[in-house]
Amino acid sequence: AYNWGFDTQPQAGLNGRRRPIQQSFRGKRRRETMKKILGSTGALLLSVFLVVVPVQPATAAGTSPFYVGAFGGYTFSSEATWSFAFSDQFDADLQETWALGAKFGYAPPAFRFFAVELEYFYLKHDIDRSAGTSVTVESGDATLNNFMVNFLVRYPEGRIHPFLGFGLGVSSVDVSGTRTVLGAAQPLDDSDTSLAYQILLGVNVEINKNWSADVTYRWFGTDPEIHGGDVDYSTNMLTVGVNYHF
């Protein structure tokens, strides 16, 4: 949910007092839900860790432990709702987009069921006309540069490795375009950096000692503030990647 650049400073009421900006209840609920999901995912990963450690033999992995990779994919079911003062809230008409990214990872040979990754990926949504009570986005785009740390639990045996994980990081969100405020045309241009989070589910396939490929489903979200408004964004992605192990 994006407040894509609205000037939402408190306005003076009839009694001359400033009215504070009210944060979106929907944004609060989604952040609370996200905390529960991440907590549950972390608990699941920890449970798998505790179960697998005593029984998993520390034999050599088929591929080398360090790896770098590149991936690409496409988003679906992207949502952006933005809210600002005086209860003006509406959904952006986001167009789906390509995702491109790169990562560096390590899977310890002694704990082959576990991997950690540093990851970057890029998204750029076009925004079609979206109308609120007092503000309308005529057209624009939203660019997201995302820097994540991922924690994965994977099945280590054989050449096919299903995995489950979660990631935390930051998203740099930049919005540009045109808006109208009470009928007056204004530029739409603002940016923010905010906490980002994702859940990953996929499968990695070893090709040989140095190469592997993976297919991954991702749920990704972030909550920047643009011009004092609360932004609530999430998307789903399906990505395909290739990795070089060394």
Per DSSP, the residues of the chain read ----S------B-TTSPBPPPPPPHHHHHHHHHHHHHHHHHHHHHHHHHHHHHHH---PPPSS-SEEEEEEEEEEEEEEEEEEEGGGEEEE-EEPP-EEEEEEEEE--GGGTTEEEEEEEEEEEEEEE-EE-SSEEEEEEEEEEEEEEEEEEEE--SSSEEEEEEEEEEEEEEEEEEEEEETTEEEEEEEEEEEEEEEEEEEEEEE-SSSEEEEEEEEEEEE--EETTEEEEEEEEEEEEEEEEE-
* Higher-pLDDT residue of 179, 60: 179
In this prediction, residue 39 carries a pLDDT of 58
* Higher-pLDDT residue of 38, 204: 204
Mean pLDDT of 128-147: 80
In this prediction, residue 22 carries a pLDDT of 43
In this prediction, residue 19 carries a pLDDT of 39
In this prediction, residue 6 carries a pLDDT of 43
pLDDT beyond 80 at 51: no
Query: What digits encode the pLDDT tens for the residues 86-137?
Result: 666 778 788 999 999 999 999 998 888 999 999 999 999 998 877 666 667 7
In this prediction, residue 129 carries a pLDDT of 77
Average pLDDT, the chain: 79
* Higher-pLDDT residue of 45, 61: 45
pLDDT beyond 60 at 196: yes
* Higher-pLDDT residue of 17, 175: 175
Confidence of residue 185 (pLDDT cuts 50, 70, 90): confident
What pTM value is reported for the model?
A: 0.73
